[in-house]
Amino acid sequence: MRTLAIIAKEFLHIRRDIRILYFALIWPVVLLLLFGYTVSYDVKNLPVTFFDLNRKSESRELYNSYRQTGVFSMSLKNDFSWAKSLNLLDRGKAKAVAIIPSDFSKKLNRLEPTSYQFLVDGSDNNTAQILIGYAAGITQDFNQKQLIENTQRYGSSVPTLKPPIDYRIRFLYNPTLKSQNFIVTGLIAIIMMNIGTLLTSLAISIEWERGTMEQLLYTPIRAREFIIGKLTPYFIISLVQVTMVLLISIFVFKVPFRGNILLFYLAATLFLLGALGIGLFISLVSKTQQVASQFSFLVSFLPTFLLSGFIFPVASMPIILRSLSYLVPATYFLKIMRGLFLKGAGLNILWFDFLIMFIFAAFFIFISTRKFSKRIA
């Protein structure tokens, strides 16, 4: 009978606390859908810019070979310049750039060896490996077609049966395709987001548990003073942790840092303020450490890990998840980290990502201040 009484009590408790039902029934389904769609090594919609300086049927046939794979999101351009092609790669508008020379068709028709260049963004080594695999296969198929056509056209008088195209692939930003260069720069975002959110969410929720928050509410303290006083110690601690992560990345994992160190700390400051603001807001809506820690995990770790482009390219996600990724601050911070570390990009390239992070930080600190103001009003 006592066992049945305990069971009945637990059912009554679950009915009164709807959050338990949420975590027990709905959240496992959400996790399954998220992992099922995002944890995939299949890629698609990879942006590739095709500079066709030849503008003949042969170069257009090569372009169509890339487009027909269904893997690439192709962009055809005729006005080539090195500055323009590198700018596309720097901004992430293209994962690879194919450059077809003006004498491409002429050399093919003369049965002379020719070549085209395929520049790949190597900062994401997994995507880069897939890109070169497709590029090699497409070029090999094109060579085979050209050999068959030459044999049919010239018969035994064909001077050579060597592949007509000599393609050479060059990796930018991460020439050795070292995976640590890609992973470590992403881990910086995950570590900073989780620690920053968890620190402030637990720091204030413990005030509710101990009953000291009510005492604070009776003091003449203003909301702005309370927020600054709570955030400042954890902001300083987080900056120390950022410095440690930076030094470990450079000296232990040998990740090259090619950017401006001041821009790095500016980005870290904006990102930390956003993470601390999120944690502060969580602590104001949840009064226990257990709920605060679980909530901070759900809104910080999972979106940062799955939707920011840390492991899986954003372009390969379904359109709904791709849209959600733009609401994750780490999506923009990751671009800055990889831009600073691997590409040496400056503010002229990364200004938009800095702006978005500033908006995120200002928004969460503002709503946290407003919510606390209502509590003490």
| Together in a domain, 228 and 327 | yes
Q: What is the pLDDT of residues 158-199, one digit of tens each?
A: 555 556 666 667 778 877 667 777 778 888 888 888 777 877
166, 139 Cβ separation under 8 angstroms: no
Statement to judge: residues 214 and 247 lie in one domain: yes
Length of the chain: 377
Same domain? For 107 and 204 the reply is: no
Task: Say if strands 46-52 and 72-77 run parallel, antiparallel, or are unpaired.
Answer: parallel
Q: What is the pTM of this model?
A: 0.73
The answer to the question of residue 100 being in a domain is: yes
Residue 52 tokens read as 């066709």
How does pLDDT run across 202-233, given as a tens digit for each residue?
Answer: 767 766 776 666 666 666 666 677 777 777 77
Domain boundary among 143, 172, 201: 172
219 domain-assigned:
yes
21: in domain: no
> Is residue 30 in some structural domain?
no
Domain of residue 125, residue span: 46-172
Mean pLDDT (the chain, rounded): 79
Are both 166 and 191 inside the same structural domain? no
Q: Does 156 map to a domain? A: yes
Q: Examine the fold and report which residue of 172, 196, 230 is the final residue of a domain before the chain moves on.
A: 172
Same domain as 195, residue 144: no
Domain identity same for 297 and 268:
yes
Summarised one tens digit per residue, pLDDT across range 297-323 is 788 877 888 888 877 778 778 888 888
319 found inside a domain: yes
Residue 19: which pLDDT band, with cuts at 50, 70 and 90?
low
The count of domains in the chain is 2
252 and 271, same domain (yes or no): yes
User: Does one domain contain both 188 and 317?
Assistant: yes
Q: Is 196 exposed, middle or buried (0-12, 13-18, 19+ CB in 10 A)?
A: buried
Q: What pLDDT does residue 6 have?
A: 44
Residue 77 φ/ψ, nearest 5 degrees = -135, 150
User: Which of 365, 377, 375 is CA-nearest to residue 228?
Assistant: 365
One-letter amino acid at 195 equals I
End of a domain among 130, 152, 172?
172
**Pairing state between β 96-100 and 72-77:** unpaired
* 268 and 282 inside one domain: yes
* CA–CA dist 44, 72 (Å, integer): 6
d(CA 229, CA 177): 44
CATH for 64: 3.40.1710.10
Same domain, 202 and 249: yes
Q: Using CB atoms within 10 Å of the CB of residue 24, give its burial: 0 to 12 exposed, 13 to 18 middle, 19+ buried.
A: exposed
Residue 330 located in a structural domain: yes
Residue 9 within any structural domain of the chain: no
One domain for residues 125 and 198 = no
In terms of Cβ atoms closer than 10 Å to its own Cβ (0-12, 13-18, 19+), residue 152 is exposed
